[in-house]
Structure 1
Amino acid sequence: MMKNQNKENAFQNLQQMEQQNKLFNMDMERIQELMRKLEMQMKMEDLANKLEDMAKRENELQKNTDGQKKDSKELNKDQKDIQKDLKEALQKDMKEIDQMNNKQQRPEKTDDAAEMGKEADQNMDQSSDGLNKNDKQKASQSQGKAQQNLKQMASALKKMAAGMDAEQIDIDIKATRQILTNLIRFSFDQEKLMGKVKQTSASSPQYVGNTQEQNRLKTNARMMKDSLFALSKRVFQIAATVNKETSDLEANINNTINALEGRRLSEAVTRQQYAMTSANNLALLLNELLSNLMQSQAEASGEGQGKGKPKPGKGKGGSSPGQQMQDIITGQEQLGKGMKPGEGKQPGGGKQPGEKPGGK
């Protein structure tokens, strides 16, 4: 009896270590993804600031051109200096941004911004051509167009850097809705199965069918876990809860199946209740996330004025470099501390076992 107990304890400890390693690797992947996003975001903002400075210089050049304050040779030299800086920014900074972008899981659409830079360069060529011909009116018009190109490119880069891309928010909303629907369906299916397990004796022909149904739900839970992990890499603030609840869900479903196979009905029902609790806690989390994402979408499209901003740590997530850096530091601290022994055995806190999202 003692030997069997020791073997069971050793097996449970091994399972727990494997689960901790999985969670550690998931956290590392999230942090690396966030670091790549942050580096690209900061590079975009840096380039946008350079472009805004060039636009100011181009505006000053246009004023000097219109005001006849300098001769065409001096004006052309100023234009060439600005154009030299623009070419360097496009060839170096924009190229680095494209390389970073290609490493993102969901790359941003940078083609339009790059095209604006090319148009600015072309307009500067036309400005220089006008100044060479002493046609200051033509030069001034081209300088005005170059300013607009530079401002538009800077604005496009800042919008991407701020993480306010409407298409990405729409993708996250659709993903959240789908996972939320699947979680609620899983919770009801698990509750229905739990009722059958309570009413079916271990010797009944229907008993095997209950175990098969639990295995089906296990497969569904694994797919939901993968979807939640993908979402949590884009919305880093939900990562900790996703880690805990999906770990608990997986562990308790596995324990349920083991209990069913061992004909331990009372233990199986208890583990099913804990699995439902994790599913319901995740549903509550996603319900709140969905609300914040929809509010962010409304604000991004100008429809949310006067409604207030999402609470810190809510909504799209990582809306500024400072906030994202804080997320990374927090994540690294959590990794450094490691998981506490016993995590993943059963949910702690949250709603009571079996309670439905929204209350029942």
Structure 2
Amino acid sequence: MEVEVRNLTKKYDNHLAVDDISFSIETGKIYGFLGPNGAGKSTTMNILAGCLAATNGQVLIHNHDIFEEQKEAKRHIGYLPELPPLYLDMTPKDFLVFVSEIRCVPKAQRLMDVSKIMNRTGISEVANRLIGQLSKGYRQRVGIAQALIGNPEVIILDEPTVGLDPAQIIEIRELIRQLGKDHTILLSSHILSEVSELCDEVMILSKGKLVARDTPEKLGEMQKLIDSISQQELKDRVQDLKSSLEQLEDNLDRNLELYKELVLQKEMFETSEKLKELSQKQIQVAEESEKIGTDPKNQIAKQADIRKEFEALQSTFDSLDRQNSELKRDSLSDSFRDNEQKTNNELKKAEENLAKGRNSRAKKNQNEAAEKMQSMSNELNSMLEEEEQESLEESIARLRLILQNVLESSFQQERLLGLTSHIDLNDPGYIQLGSEQRMLMAGLEVMHDSLKELSKRESSIPPFLFSLFRQIDETMQSLLHQFGDRKISAILIGQRSAMTDINNLALLLSEAMSNLQRQSNMNMMSSGSCKNAKPRKGNKGKPSLKSLRQAQEQLNQQLQKMNQLGKSNGNKGEQSQQSGEQFSRLAMEQAMIRRELESYMKSVQDESGLAGEELKKITKDMDKTENDLVYKKLSNFTLERQEKILTRLLESERAEQEREKEERRESKTGIIDQESNPFQKLRYNESKRKGDDVFLREKLKFNSFFHRKVILYEHNTVK
């Protein structure tokens, strides 16, 4: 390689003139840098020639670093900058002899080399005229001649034809072609035809980045293809590509989160099995300790091995806690950690007692350790089952809320369609319809984000739901443009299309939720949860305080970022339309969290007859935040209120956990209800179930309006 460039970067204050470019240049070719003014061509040329230091990266000329071995590297370079460094009061001959002296050409051959170079570059006839009296074309030839002094392998020409007339441009191009037969040439230009005509390979720079590299022929074919595509078609293709990349990124994020979940579950299961095996191994060693003729040293060695295996498992416990923290799940319980400490102590005591010949005491320690390890194994298994079931129930609750909001959006879109079809363009209410359409779009975006977060822990959420959401978003974006253009017919077509897609989305969400419910029921049946006297909280699919607190925490972070962005912009006018959409979106998100909290309060009230006063205060504060966001008010007072909401939610969550602990500690006596006629009640239940089956399973034919009503009724009432 003549030249090799690795991760070259040049930064002026906060401006990146050259942004991490890498390329190599082979011997015997003409290479061209193509790009608009300000693309970074001249900066790159100056760095390659050793005239400018780089911020980062490496440049090798004939394997010599241009920054560390500058003298040796420059022997192989001839450089013509955009403005040739000529002495106007010297003749070309004197100037070239002077350059030969600087480049350490032996004195005996200087005049001979200068004469050859002048003949080669076509300046012999003006060799004794002052450079200041020469034309622009001849000056450029003198500049190229000085780059050839010392016969360098690589010649760098920065904009060699700039400022020349057409005849001079043709002459200089022909000269460059001739030079390319004996030298490797790297030239820069902003003229496509020049680079295509002269170069064997072209590198395209844009905003300091190397965006393409290919032969002129292939780049020409690409240009023809671009020219053959209309601007609108090109815009559509770019948008399709952008959507595909966003979808790919979402899928990667989702698969990564699901993978983390699977890794954690696998590690918990394997750790549980190892604890179980270690417990059984400890029992076996304890029984051997009592046998007559057992070698004490062998028993001590076995006990030491068990202790070491358990110590190795302790690092796994820490790993499980770290993974739980990353996934925002509960860490290992205090009782588990307590058993861990006790097991460690018992194993050490057992080893000490065996060493002192106290076999009976050692056996007691061994049995205690085995019991604790078995208890830890059981707790890990229970934790796995409970977390899976709780996650399912929480997912069902969230999916139900998303479905309800989608159905409400469908009714809202239908209402807007009816109003739009009868409105006059001059009616002041027309502007209001456009605003409501924008609010509807913002609400659907919040639902889309909620479903994305849910899909990161539920693999059963089908990916094509997100494609449908994106399709709805594109339709809504188009609708807003049509509202601005006041094209009623196009608006009505778009609204009908959006309503159809939203209805399809509701049906698919309903099916996805049914699948989750079936999975939850199967899990409960297989684990025997249905036989428990008291079901765990969440079995009815109500939202948990933990999930609400996490959602509120994410919302608060978004508000903090938005507030910081507003301060950095300084001028409120800069926030404009995008900021308005963000306010609408965050208001919808806060409303969803509030409704979910109200649903939780209702379920708690149904179970205990009480709904905490603290939770009521939280919902009131959330309502105030919604109003602030609707009216685009984001003050320090609003942010302080949000922090108080989060603190209260955290306190309520802890209180709920304490109540659940107390309930698990309570010992309940079975209550036997005396029925005067139990068989009659059984017959009644059987007939009632038959009626439910008719309602739930009969496939009745409804139009789209009543079909949505039925879905909403099923999920709000029956479930």
Q: Give the TM-score, by structure 1 length.
A: 0.74
The match for 1:38 is: 262
Q: What is the match of residue 585 of structure 2?
A: none
Tell me what 1:19 maps to.
243
Structure 1 spans left out of the alignment, 5+ residues: 306-350
RMSD: 3.2
* Cα offset, 1:86, TM superposition: 0.7
* Residue 335 of structure 1: aligned partner: none
**1:110 matched to 2:332:** yes
Equivalent in the alignment of 1:240: 463
Amino acid at match of 1:185: E
- Picking from 708, 711, 718, the partner of 1:356 is 708
Structure 2 partner of 1:183: 406
1:61–1:75 Cα contact (<8 Å) kept: yes
| Deviations 1:43-76, CA, capped at 9 Å, x for gaps | 3333233222212211211222344563655433
Helix, strand or coil at the partner of 1:109 = coil
Alignment match, 1:144: 367
Question: Against the structure 1 CA distance between its residues 205 and 125, is the aligned structure 2 distance closer, same or farther, given a 3 Å change threshold?
Answer: same
Q: Please tell me whether residue 285 in structure 1 is matched to residue 285 in structure 2.
A: no
Cα displacement string for residues 150-171 of structure 1 (whole angstroms, at most 9, x for unaligned residues) = 2233334445556853332332
Measured at CA, do residues 70 and 213 of structure 1 come closer, stay the same or move farther in structure 2, by a change above 3 Å? Answer: same
Q: Does 1:302 align with 2:528?
A: yes
Counterpart secondary structure, 1:234: coil
CA distance in 1, matches of 2:480, 2:704: 18
Kept after mapping to 1: 8 A contact 2:460/2:516: no
Which residue among 332, 345, 354 is the counterpart of 1:122? 345
Match of 1:314 in 2: none
Q: Which amino acid aligns with 1:284?
A: L
**For residue 107 of structure 1, what is the amino acid of its counterpart?**
R
* Residue of structure 1 equivalent to 2:496: 273
The structure with the largest helix share of the pair is 1
In structure 2, do the counterparts of structure 1 residues 294 and 140 end up closer, same or farther at CA, with 3 Å as the change threshold?
farther
Q: Deviations over 1:278-303 (max 9, x none)?
A: 33333333333433444444434624
**1:28 partnered with 2:252:** yes
> 2-side partners of 1:130 and 1:29: how far apart?
53
Question: Is residue 273–residue 353 contact of structure 1 (8 Å, CA) maintained in 2?
Answer: no
Give me the whole-angstrom Cα distance separating, in 1, the residues matched to 2:342 and 2:389: 25
1:313 matched to which residue of 2? none
Structure 1 residue corresponding to 2:277, chosen from 43, 53, 70: 53
Q: Give the 3-state SS of the residue equivalent to 2:367 in structure 1.
A: helix
The 3-state SS of whatever aligns with 1:165 is: helix
How far residue 194 of structure 1 moved from its aligned partner, in angstroms, is: 1.1
CA distance in 2, matches of 1:163, 1:264: 55
Residues 69-218 of structure 1: pairs in structure 2 closer than 5 A: 70=294, 73-91=297-315, 93-104=316-327, 106-112=328-334, 113-159=336-382, 164-218=387-441
For residues 489 and 482 of structure 2, what CA distance do their matches in structure 1 show?
Answer: 8
Other-structure match for 1:330: none
Larger deviation: 282-291 or 173-182? 282-291
Corresponding residue SS for 2:528: coil
Residue in structure 2 matched with residue 308 of structure 1 by the alignment: none
Cα offsets for 1:187-242 (capped at 9, x unmatched): 11111111111121323222111111101101111111110100111112314122
Contact 1:284 1:357 in 2 (8 A): no
Say if 1:276 and 1:353, in contact at 8 Å, map to a contact too. no
Q: Is 209-218 or 52-61 further displaced after alignment?
A: 52-61
Superposition pairs of residues 222-233 of structure 1, within 5 angstroms: 222-233=445-456
Please give the alpha-carbon distance, in whole angstroms, between the structure 1 residues aligned to 2:303 and 2:375. Answer: 19
Cα distance in 2 between the residues matched to 1:74 and 1:258? 83
Range 263-272 or range 70-79, more displaced? 70-79
Residues 217/283 of structure 1: CA separation in 2 closer, same or farther (3 Å cut): same
Gaps of 5+ in 2: 1-228, 532-701, 713-719
Q: Name the CA distance, whole Å, in 2 between partners of 1:78 and 1:149.
A: 19
> What is the number of residues matched between the two proteins?
310
Instruction: Report how far residue 148 of structure 1 moved.
Output: 2.6
Give the corresponding residue for 2:581.
Answer: none
CA–CA distance in structure 2, aligned partners of residues 270 and 68 of structure 1: 92
Distance in 1, matches of 2:291 and 2:485, equals 92
Range with bigger deviation, 93-102 or 266-275: 93-102
Structure 2 CA distance, aligned partners of 1:352 and 1:209?
A: 29
Change (3 A) 1:359 1:32: closer
Residues in 1 aligned to 2:386 and 2:230: alpha-carbon distance in whole angstroms: 52
Provide TM-score, normalisation by structure 2.
Answer: 0.39
The change in CA–CA distance for 1:196 and 1:69 in structure 2 (over 3 A counts) is farther
Amino acid in structure 2 at the alignment position of 1:216: M
Cα–Cα, structure 1 residues 223 and 294, in superposed 2: closer, same or farther, change >3 Å?
same
When residues 214 and 133 of structure 1 are mapped into structure 2, their CA distance, relative to the original with a 3 A threshold, is same
Out of 217, 220, 233, the position equivalent to 2:443 is 220
Identity %: 23
Cα pair distance change 1:283/1:302, threshold 3 Å: farther
Question: What does the per-residue CA deviation read over 1:234-285, in whole Å, with 9 as the maximum and x for residues that have no partner?
Answer: 1123141222121112111112222222222232223223323333333333
